[in-house]
Amino acid sequence: MAWGVGPGDAVFVPDFTFFSSGEVVCAVGATPVFVDVDERTFNLDSEQLEQAIDFVERETDLVPKAVVTVDLFGLPADYPKIKPICEKYGLFLLEDGAQGFGGSIKGEMACSFGDISTTSFFPAKPLGCYGDGGAVFTDDDEWADLIRSFAAHGKGSMKYDNIRIGMNSRLDAIQAAILKVKFESFVDVELEAVDGAARWYADALALIAQDEGFVLPMIPEGYASSWAQYTIQLPLACNRDALQSRLREKGIPTMVYYPKPMHQQRAFEGDCIAFGDMAITKKLCDRVLSLPFGPYVTHDEAADVADALRESLESL
Ligand SMILES: *Cc1c(COP(=O)(O)O)cnc(C)c1O
């Protein structure tokens, strides 16, 4: 809204993400152009992105306007490649850091990569409050003023001077109070703890992954993940539903993030462009499984999950 993105504009969004990364594009009347992701990082594929921009410029009447990158499962997107592409084509970069808050690339923190970045404090995210909440980040004072106005019903000089159509996107004071306390633990304890837990999982799962043919998450050199999820890729032949119910019987909850490519969501039907065949996204939707995870997972729990996974896979 602050950038004036609207009808006739194309906004590029990864096909493998949570719905709202694309929903916001349609909410302002623009057209989401879904683009495939990288098989190892789950994040927007920079080569596919550039091809998709060329395609929209050549083959459609839409005007390329912005790119939404998603820091999926806590891992920052490929900003070293994607930022130059945005500069080359004059596109705004919106970092969807809902899952990425706390991650980094060479010490640069997630939610600082976009021209505007956003995060979510929904309880399932790396830094969760006890209800709904979120934040917007930008270095641009004009955009910041606009966003503050949009978030409070288009307020002008004061609450009852309304100068534009906005919405209610305020952060409740009670949630802010909770976040103030939790943010300290997030910085002092949880980010390091969750990275340690990821190492325990990697150690406990390495051999099983090799034997059973599943793929562990990969963090590229110089990157740090805030580990919103610990997501493995099962072998193609594995019956994921059956595996999930075996694990459930053993008291291990698992989730599928995400079962459906964005371009196949009914809400986008006739209202989006799907660039390419989305081979990777489709494969991921069939194969991913997120294991129970967080900063308070213990070494023993990681070992128990690994044992349960091996037993369940062998019993299928
Ligand atoms: C959770 C999530 C959102 C939306 O967060 P809300 O707080 O529900 O607005 C957006 N993008 C991604 C990738 C998410 O995981």
pLDDT 10s digits, 1-18: 999 999 999 999 999 999
What's the pLDDT at 56? 98
Ligand 1 pocket, mutate which of 99, 175, 229, 231 (most atoms under 8 A from CB):
99
Residue having the nearest C-alpha atom to atom 7 of ligand 1: 120
Two tokens, residue 154:
């288009």
What's the pLDDT at 48? 98
3-class DSSP assignment, residue 217: coil
Closest ligand 1 atom, residue 132 Cα: 7
Backbone dihedral angles phi then psi of residue 274, each to the nearest 5 degrees: -105, 115
Q: Tell me how far the alpha carbon of residue 21 lies from the centroid of ligand 1, in angstroms.
A: 7
Residue having the nearest C-alpha atom to atom 2 of ligand 1: 98
Q: How far apart are CA 149 and CA 145, in angstroms?
A: 6
- Confidence check: pLDDT of 159 > 90: no
- Confidence check: pLDDT of 38 > 90: yes
Mean pLDDT across 48-73: 98
Residue having the nearest C-alpha atom to atom 3 of ligand 1: 98
- CA 238-285-17 angle, to 5 degrees, is 150
Percent of the chain with pLDDT over 90: 99
70 lines ligand 1 (CB under 6 A): yes
Closest ligand 1 atom, residue 133 Cα: 7
Mean pLDDT across 213-235: 97
3-class DSSP assignment, residue 252: coil
231 lines ligand 1 (CB under 6 A): no
Q: How far apart are CA 113 and CA 44, in angstroms?
A: 14
Two tokens, residue 261:
């490519």
What's the pLDDT at 17? 98
Contact partners, residue 142, CB within 8 Å, separation at least 6: none
Q: Tell me how far the alpha carbon of residue 155 lies from the centroid of ligand 1, in angstroms.
A: 25
Cβ-contact 130, 180 below 8 angstroms:
no
122 lines ligand 1 (CB under 6 A): yes
Q: How far apart are CA 164 and CA 118, in angstroms?
A: 22
Helices assigned H by DSSP within 122-278? 141-151, 173-185, 191-212, 240-249
18 lines ligand 1 (CB under 6 A): yes
- Confidence check: pLDDT of 52 > 90: yes
Cβ-contact 184, 193 below 8 angstroms:
no
Backbone dihedral angles phi then psi of residue 113, each to the nearest 5 degrees: -85, -30
Task: Kindly list the distances between the CA atom of residue 58 and the CA atoms of 55, 64, 117, 212, in Å, as whole numbers in the listed order.
Answer: 5, 11, 29, 45
Count of residues in the chain: 316
* CB-neighbour burial class of residue 236 (10 A; exposed 0-12, middle 13-18, buried 19+): exposed
Two tokens, residue 49:
């992105």
Closest ligand 1 atom, residue 120 Cα: 7
- Confidence check: pLDDT of 240 > 90: yes
β-bridge partners, 138: 116
Task: Kindly list the distances between the CA atom of residue 215 and the CA atoms of 208, 209, 237, 288, 289, in Å, as whole numbers in the listed order.
Answer: 10, 6, 13, 9, 10
Q: Round the average pLDDT of the chain to a whole number and report it.
A: 97
268-308 tens-digit pLDDT: 999 999 999 999 999 999 999 999 999 999 999 999 999 99
246-255 tens-digit pLDDT: 999 999 999 9
41-51 tens-digit pLDDT: 999 999 999 99
Residue having the nearest C-alpha atom to atom 1 of ligand 1: 98
Q: How far apart are CA 164 and CA 265, in angstroms?
A: 31
Q: Residue holding tokens 């010490």?
A: 107
Whether pTM exceeds 0.85 = yes
Contact partners, residue 248, CB within 8 Å, separation at least 6: 254
133 lines ligand 1 (CB under 6 A): no
- CA 43-95-178 angle, to 5 degrees, is 110
DSSP structure class, residue 292 = P
Residue having the nearest C-alpha atom to atom 14 of ligand 1: 98
What's the pLDDT at 64? 98
Q: Tell me how far the alpha carbon of residue 180 lies from the centroid of ligand 1, in angstroms.
A: 20
Ligand 1 pocket, mutate which of 11, 16, 21, 171 (most atoms under 8 A from CB):
21
Identity at 65, one-letter amino acid code? K
